[in-house]
Structure 1
């Protein structure tokens, strides 16, 4: 027969068991590593992310260390080795991780200010250039971002292939800039004639964030504006970037990580807003299956590479 006393005892036992499990994973994981790939320079990435990581440490009750990875491959290999417990992936790099067998699970996704969960790959040229469409850039120099970047490589190559364009043959030179910022800088400085990048909306893109920080200057030292750049091609929508934790982390730890992320916009609003310059809505749950189409895209790009080898 259930009584108030037995219910109270049961609740107390459940709380004790839960606390014991938490203490168990904290002894096994005295430190968690959270890795991100810089879309900007490394110091800017630390400034943007460290306050949130401090919040995460407080919520989990264990130390969380921010790691700014050199590139997406480093994040993939870090999770494969078990050295990175939580990672902020690009869609293509997460798909790549799943393809190569990394045991990682997506749990949260970026949400745009309008509520959508996608973004675009765009091709930028300088507004002062004569180029109005991609076909006019034959024999010119093209900047991609990173081999495992969705908007900076996989989607641009997919879009160009649909147009019958092989970038390595069509352009006189193709380079991997290493980051989205570097690709825009290469275009602004005249090193390349066209650059791939990510774009959410007219007032929310890597370009607008760089402009807001005063990173782009004209030859005379005056600040550049959005009017100094032109988009000549935009892709179909790409699902937003996921946050993923190692699949074999304890269930209670994974639940605590997800809870901390999903509550961040309320509990740590100032630091959450810093991550997107106040553009994004709160993170929402996401699943591995939501990236199945991205896996197809990455496999398509892999097939293109095989044909050329």
Structure 2
């Protein structure tokens, strides 16, 4: 057995033995495992590797085993939360909006990632290969575009809405659009000439050659899947609110409080694990609520109404 697993089990046993009230232990016995959903967007082995330390941290904080559930797409995590199969997940703002519009009582956004300067936003960008003739958004007319995922904020909802606001109908402006199957997969599709351009997310802070401080580009550079010299960004969105960590509303209050506190302490207690978990550099987590995402909820609701 790995040392981390021994520590996880011994911590859980110690908490159970020293519980002072029956209620303290009851939710642990009823829960069995604490289930955390992981969004798609990068290959499964990299996701599990990045979140292994986070699972150990959460298990030690909660006193129960933690299971990670990497979904193949955003919808898998959303449905897991709606069905009560997952207790917690990190989502994009559009993913949260999609859940809220189906069942406003299912989950609540509690935390979001702070950037290195304590700001709470990021950008959607459209990129092309560096040898492409396209130098700007206007140059993409007649070319093909890969969105990331239909439930992605930066990889679909926001760029499509901002293009429409600028008078661009993606169905006629581009020669064709499609979904890459996630942010990482869409970049690879562009690099392999399956699409002329793609959409992804980034902080646009820090060194460009490193993929900036945080985002899909940073993860791909860190995983040696991308050289930033191979792509060029030709468009960027307005600032988008960083996605939330959401918790099921029927989660026992104590369990939620322990999980939230563990995350708030993560950067100080284990900076390397924090970096792996958020996919780059940041300055901890900030507490948020539904009001932080009302604009994205309205945008998603409008997009859903237009597609009916």
Q: Tell me the TM-score normalised to structure 1 length.
A: 0.87
Instruction: State which of 287, 298, 301 in structure 1 corresponds to 2:300.
Output: 298
Q: Match for residue 43 of structure 1? A: 45
**Structure 2 unpaired stretches of 5+:** 1-17
Greater CA radius of gyration, 1 or 2? Answer: 1
- Could you report, residue by residue, the CA deviation over 1:18-57 in whole angstroms, capped at 9, with x for unpaired residues? 7433212112112111001133111000000111111100
Q: 1:23 and 1:109, CA in 2 relative to 1: closer, same or farther beyond 3 A?
A: same
Call closer, same or farther: CA 1:277–1:166 in 2, change over 3 Å. Answer: closer
Cα contact 1:157–1:301 (8 A) shared by 2: no
Alignment match, 1:106: 109
SS in 1 for 2:27: helix
Deviation string for 1:85-106 (max 9, x for gaps)? 1111111000110011151011
Task: Give, in whole Å, the separation in 2 of the partners of 1:139 and 1:172.
Answer: 5
Secondary structure of 1:184 counterpart: helix
Length, aligned pairs only? 283
Matching residue of 2:165: 162
Measure, in 2, the Cα distance between the counterparts of 1:48 and 1:250.
27
Match for residue 175 of structure 1?
178
Shift of 1:270: 2.4
Runs (5+) with no aligned partner, structure 1: 1-15, 217-224
**Structure 1 runs (4+) greater than 4 angstroms displaced:** 16-19
Q: What per-residue deviation string (whole Å, max 9, x for no partner) do you get for residues 248-281 of structure 1?
A: 1121111111111111112233211222455011
Alignment partners' CA distance in 2, 1:175 and 1:45: 24
**Does the 8 Å CA contact 1:33/1:65 hold for their aligned counterparts?**
yes
Q: Is 136-145 or 296-305 further displaced after alignment?
A: 296-305
Measured at CA, do residues 179 and 277 of structure 1 come closer, stay the same or move farther in structure 2, by a change above 3 Å?
closer
Instruction: Tell me, in whole angstroms, the C-alpha distance in 2 between the residues paired with 1:153 and 1:262.
Output: 30
Deviates more, 1:226-235 or 1:86-95: 226-235
Cα gap change, 1:249 to 1:209, in 2 (>3 Å): closer
* Structure 2 residue 229 is matched with structure 1 residue 232: no
* Counterpart contact for 1:55–1:268, Cα < 8 Å: no
Cα distance between partner residues in 2 of 1:255 and 1:38: 26
- TM-score, normalization: structure 2? 0.87
